[in-house]
Amino acid sequence: MKAGSHDAPEFHPQTVLRDWGNGSGFRIADAQTGVCVFGATGSGKTSGPAKHLAYGYLAAGFGGLVLCAKKEERRQWEQWAAETGRLGDLVIIDGEGKWRFNFLEWEASRPEAGGGLTINIVSILDEIAGAIAHSAGSSDGGQGDNKFWDDALHHMNTNLVDLPVFAGLRVSLPLMRSIINSAPQNLEQLDDSKWQETSACAAILREADSATLKASADIRADFEECRNYWLQEYPVLSEKTRSIINLSFSMLVRPLITRPLRTLFSTDTNITPEDTFEGKIIIVDLPVQEYRLAGRIANLAWKYCFQVAVLRRTPPAGRTSFLRPVFLWADEAQNFVTNFDAEYQAVARSAAGCTVFLTQNRESYRRVLGNTDAVDSLLGNLQAKFFCQNSGETNEWAAKLLGERWTKITSTNAGQSRNEGAQTPGDGSNSAGVARSDQRRFFVEPSFFTTLKRGGPLHNNQVEAIVYNGGHLFTGGSETLPYRLITFNQS
Ligand SMILES: Nc1ncnc2c1ncn2[C@@H]1O[C@H](COP(=O)(O)OP(=O)(O)O)[C@@H](O)[C@H]1O
Ligand SMILES: [Mg+2]
């Protein structure tokens, strides 16, 4: 089932990935504007819409990155890939260490990186550290406080990467750690000959000094900034500040330079995000459920590097060929979302990046992203929305999103007879008759989402979801509506 086997060029945006009948369906262009799936636990998100889309993406030849929250995800993708003829493209990143990605060297080896190297490496570290800190800390309030620590850590990381760069050394996490561990703890230490002789930080400062002595005035000034940080700012940080930023740094780096991640991220490289552009499907089988913090760090490192790689992708010249779409897939996505995702997906479309995020409800994103604006921004950039059976606030939001219409409500009012519901118009007098009124009603009432089929034997292995695709109109029967109810067979 190779895509583009007809007359359209391969990966043409209008290629239908899933045909839903009645002239509607899901196309590559829809995949590229992003997907989010909502539903209660056990509502059929994974076995319904996710499986349905995954088969479409795999059969069409997409590459991709799959983040793993649960242990069973690897097995599930192996099965999905087998059934779509894609087993050969699977790359399983696991504790065995067959596939390795040293992201610092990957970043440093880009010929275009040039002077942006420090910024890019620090961005990777910031992104992972930020995600860890925010999920560990308080979800509401505390934003201002977070910002101070984020900035302090960012500032240290910048100087931590800059220093070996100025010295002409290869940036590595162990080297960065040894700089911190040997940095001066107070101003007196600077004059201590023992510190001068044994400190890695002092030695690298000397190397960087002589390496930049004859450099351009710009570079020399930048080095002096960096030296000031280590010799003047860092030693006088308050004990509390210093210990918190050092702890944040250790929490981030230690998992990456110890087992099981050390081999995967801090040795050599035999797989990179760019391999997905050739059709590889990379599964980060270090599930959060089992590996906890190390699992999150591994998944976040892969996620951010993949996103950056997609954004750097250059479109093919001319209109006759199209980039191979690549998906970023996260089931239980609350484990992995960051503020960068909205920014990423807004631009990823033109680089054929296709995000698919599944989670229970809006609240699960709000807890991680901290506020409703950030959630709205993320969801605004994931245009296609699948709503499975659910309860709570997400149902109200979904109902509003699908919209309202004017409906003629006809009520009969016969004397003192039983009232037909609450919307009986009129003045409630005893006069019999028929009343007609126009009322605004949701296309789909919030309560309807509680009734959708959840799969399993009880529902004949059927999962129902309401699909909304950024206002796209679906024609079915006599009506044209901005949504559609789709039934997925689990088996
Ligand atoms: N292939 C399948 N065939 C039949 N039932 C299934 C299958 N996969 C999952 N189920 C059942 O369907 C329900 C929905 O499962 P699942 O898709 O995992 O929900 P969610 O991802 O929303 O938590 C569960 O009760 C589950 O046991
Ligand atoms: Mg699931």
Q: How far apart are CA 256 and CA 209, in angstroms?
A: 29
Take atom 2 of ligand 1 and give the residue whose Cα is closest: 490
User: How do the residues of the chain divide into helix, strand and coil, expressed in percent and rounded to 5?
Assistant: 50, 15, 35
Q: How far apart are CA 128 and CA 303, in angstroms?
A: 10
H-assigned helices in 312-421: 340-348, 362-369, 372-380, 393-402
Residues of the chain where predicted confidence (pLDDT) is lower than 70: 1-8, 113-115, 135-145, 316, 318-319, 413-432
- Hey, what are 108's tokens? 């440093």
At residue 360, φ and ψ (nearest 5 deg) are -75, -55
pLDDT of residue 141: 43
Site of tokens 């040039």: 114
Asked if residue 490 has its Cβ within 6 Å of ligand 1, the reply is yes
pLDDT of residue 7: 55
Q: How far apart are CA 67 and CA 74, in angstroms?
A: 10
Asked if residue 49 has its Cβ within 6 Å of ligand 1, the reply is no
Q: How far apart are CA 150 and CA 152, in angstroms?
A: 6
Take atom 27 of ligand 1 and give the residue whose Cα is closest: 456
Atom of ligand 1 nearest to the CA of 51: 17
* Residue 285: strand, helix, or coil: coil
Query: Which ligand lies nearest the alpha carbon of 49?
Result: 1
242-to-88, 151, 238, 256 alpha-carbon distances in Å: 48, 13, 6, 21
Asked if residue 178 has its Cβ within 6 Å of ligand 1, the reply is no
Asked if residue 345 has its Cβ within 6 Å of ligand 1, the reply is no
Burial of 468 (0-12, 13-18, 19+ CB in 10 A): buried
- Hey, what are 354's tokens? 């296709």
Asked if residue 44 has its Cβ within 6 Å of ligand 1, the reply is yes
Neighbours of 263 (CB within 10 A): 15
Asked if residue 491 has its Cβ within 6 Å of ligand 1, the reply is yes
Q: How far apart are CA 350 and CA 378, in angstroms?
A: 17
Are the CB atoms for 435 and 407 separated by under 8 Å?
A: no
**Nearest one of 331, 333, 332, 313 to 323, comparing CA atoms:** 313
Residues in the chain: 491
pLDDT of residue 136: 60
Q: How far apart are CA 341 and CA 300, in angstroms?
A: 11
Q: How far apart are CA 65 and CA 325, in angstroms?
A: 11
Q: How far apart are CA 485 and CA 49, in angstroms?
A: 12
Ordered by where they begin, the domains of the chain are: 35-99+278-394+451-489 (3.40.50.300), 111-257 (no CATH)
Please give the distance, rounded to the nearest whole angstrom, from the Cα atom of residue 331 to the centre of ligand 2: 7
Q: Which residues contact 38 (CB under 8 A, 6 or more apart)?
A: 45, 358, 359, 360, 361, 362, 385, 386, 387, 388, 390, 394, 398
362-to-63, 121, 273, 292, 343 alpha-carbon distances in Å: 28, 31, 29, 23, 18
pTM of the model: 0.91
Atom of ligand 1 nearest to the CA of 388: 22
Please give the distance, rounded to the nearest whole angstrom, from the Cα atom of residue 298 to the centre of ligand 1: 27
67-to-274, 334, 355, 478 alpha-carbon distances in Å: 16, 11, 11, 41
Q: How far apart are CA 323 and CA 350, in angstroms?
A: 9
Query: Which ligand lies nearest the alpha carbon of 68?
Result: 2
- DSSP characters for 163-202? HHHHHTPPP-HHHHHHHHHTS-SSTGGGG-HHHHHH-HHH
pLDDT of residue 113: 61
Please give the distance, rounded to the nearest whole angstrom, from the Cα atom of residue 455 to the centre of ligand 1: 6
Please give the distance, rounded to the nearest whole angstrom, from the Cα atom of residue 351 to the centre of ligand 1: 33
**Ligand 2 (single-atom ion) residues, CB below 5 Å:** 45-46
Please give the distance, rounded to the nearest whole angstrom, from the Cα atom of residue 484 to the centre of ligand 2: 22
Q: How far apart are CA 477 and CA 375, in angstroms?
A: 35
Q: How far apart are CA 341 and CA 335, in angstroms?
A: 13
Are the CB atoms for 83 and 55 separated by under 8 Å?
A: yes
Atom of ligand 1 nearest to the CA of 39: 22
Take atom 24 of ligand 1 and give the residue whose Cα is closest: 42
Please give the distance, rounded to the nearest whole angstrom, from the Cα atom of residue 171 to the centre of ligand 1: 46
Q: How far apart are CA 417 and CA 135, in angstroms?
A: 57
pLDDT of residue 412: 73
Take atom 4 of ligand 1 and give the residue whose Cα is closest: 456
Asked if residue 51 has its Cβ within 6 Å of ligand 1, the reply is no
